[in-house]
Amino acid sequence: MAVVNDSSIPNDAILLRVLLPGWTCLKNSRYRPTTHAFIDGRTGEVSCFIVGPGVEAEVRRMFPDFEIATVPANVIRGSGFAIERRPGECTGFNGDPGAHVVIGAPDEVTRREYERRAKKIAVHLETTILPSK
Amino acid sequence: MSPAYQSPNWTQVQRIERSRSNARMDVISRPFFGASPRLARVMEVEEAPWLAGALEELRALKAAGRDVPGLGDFRIAEETMDRARQLLTLEPLRRLAAPSVVPFSGGGLALSWNAKGRDLTLSIYPSEREITYARTSQDDVVLEDGVIAEEAELGKIVDRYLSSFI
């Protein structure tokens, strides 16, 4: 399913992506998320949260034992993915409902192209992993 | 009998013949890469010491899989499990070390090998017969990627991955 880009989300917005154990790697002395952190095998849509007042704290409350990646919106778009708001699609999230978004391809793409775009996000130097608190 | 054949859910296996000459198994299975039933060479657990552990890891991921709002849906379909088990037992993978088995959102499974900074990743998508692969260099550059269409191709990909260490 194609993700419809929401242009009201500025390019300098920062998105948080919660990481499963196993979705991180050390490459070239750099600790980063793996491609699979940005892939969904069924819908092609991956949940993220736009940083805003209290959002990181709420995400950490929901996922206390998980690492969190940060990705600027321009990196996501520049890699060929779109960002779409999905308020109300994240049960248990008590922060600003508008902070919940999904990212994914805005067009029909092959698996290979989809993975290539996800990898671009994962390896981008502006994609980081937040220090644990 | 290897643990791979004890799974009651591995319904794809229709007939097993033990070869007297080399003690491996020939399995006539539903198509893994192709479109029609075929004879696949598979390995026994003795040939890959990591196999039993990897299959156990799969079972644990299946048992733990759930839909987590804000993170992803990690419920793994039985068909995806079957394909992962079958993939793990294919002969070309016998030459590799233990893979790391990681789920991805949407009920997918990824098998990854990393040595000296070089990666080989196979991704099993749910509800499709497609397996994708990606091989990357020490510099994190994708050397090759795509969809694996047949087992022979998997063998060649493994060959190229292993020869990159020479």
- For A51, the token pair is 């940083």
- Residues contacting residue B63 through CB under 8 Å, at least 6 positions apart: none
Distance from CA of B67 to the nearest CA of A (A): 11
What average pLDDT score do residues B53-77 get?
Answer: 96
Using DSSP's 3-state secondary structure scheme, residue B95 falls into helix
Angle between helices B78-88 and B51-64 (to 10 degrees): 170
| Alpha helix ranges (H) inside chain A | 55-62, 73-78, 111-123
What average pLDDT score do residues B107-120 get?
Answer: 95
For residue B38, pLDDT over 90 is answered with no
- Residues contacting residue B93 through CB under 8 Å, at least 6 positions apart: B43, B48, B87, B99, B154, B158
Indicate yes or no: pTM above 0.80.
yes
- DSSP tag of B99: P
| pLDDT of res. B26 | 46
Q: Which of A131, A118, A125, A101 is nearest to A34 (CA)?
A: A118
| pLDDT of res. A28 | 86
- Residues contacting residue B49 through CB under 8 Å, at least 6 positions apart: B98
For an interface test with B, which of A18, A27, A90, A91 has the most B Cβ atoms less than 10 Å from its Cβ?
A27
- Residue pLDDT, tens place only, B129-139: 779 999 999 99
Rounded (to 5) percent helix, strand, coil in chain A: 25, 30, 45
> Per the CB < 8 Å rule, is A41 touching B139?
no
| Least confident range of A30-44, A105-119, B42-56, B108-122 | B42-56
What average pLDDT score do residues B153-161 get?
Answer: 95
For residue B32, pLDDT over 60 is answered with no
What average pLDDT score do residues B27-42 get?
Answer: 50
For residue B25, pLDDT over 60 is answered with no
| pLDDT of res. B149 | 82
For residue A75, pLDDT over 80 is answered with yes
Give percent above pLDDT 70 in chain A.
Answer: 99
Rounded Cα gap, residues A75 and A81, in angstroms: 9
Q: Which of B99, B98, B92 is nearest to B155 (CA)?
A: B92
- For A62, the token pair is 């929901």
Considering only the beta carbons, identify the residue of A28, A49, A92 that sits closest to B139: A28
* H or E, element range at B80: helix B78-88
Rounded Cα gap, residues B75 and B106, in angstroms: 7
ipTM over 0.90: yes
Rounded Cα gap, residues A80 and B78, in angstroms: 32
Considering only the beta carbons, identify the residue of B69, B105, B145 that sits closest to A41: B105
> Which residues of chain B does A101 touch, with a Cβ-Cβ cutoff of 8 Å?
none
| pLDDT of res. B47 | 72
